[in-house]
Amino acid sequence: MTETQFQDLSGRVDGVARVLMALIADLEIRENLNGDRFCRSLRNSANARGRYQPHETSAQVMLQIADELEGARRSRSAAHQHETPSGRK
């Protein structure tokens, strides 16, 4: 694989991951998905996959996605707490 091909593949994978995280966040906001439970399940799956050398990288990515989802949830929660009853900050 050439460097250009690797960069292209990397960009595509990152794009898919970003779309997936946006979808998950939207489902959480609409209360169609329990984000805490989802992240806990994602971490459990990652830890199980991480026990096998061929899957270590995907396990690390799963843990990173869980971290990013939890960080986004904390940010949304903090922003919501700073809003006034009229919905303004």
Each residue's pLDDT, cut to its tens digit, for the chain (89 residues) gives: 999 999 999 999 999 999 999 999 999 999 999 999 999 999 999 999 999 999 999 999 999 999 999 999 999 888 878 775 555 55
- pLDDT of 4 reads 96
- pLDDT of 89 reads 53
- pLDDT of 78 reads 87
The pair of structure tokens assigned to 83 is 């809003």
The reported pTM is 0.78
Burial 34-65 (b: 16+ CB within 10 A, else e): ebeebbeebbeebeebbeeeeeeeebeebbeb
Query: What is the residue type of 89?
Result: K
Cα 38 vs. chain centroid, distance in angstroms?
Answer: 10
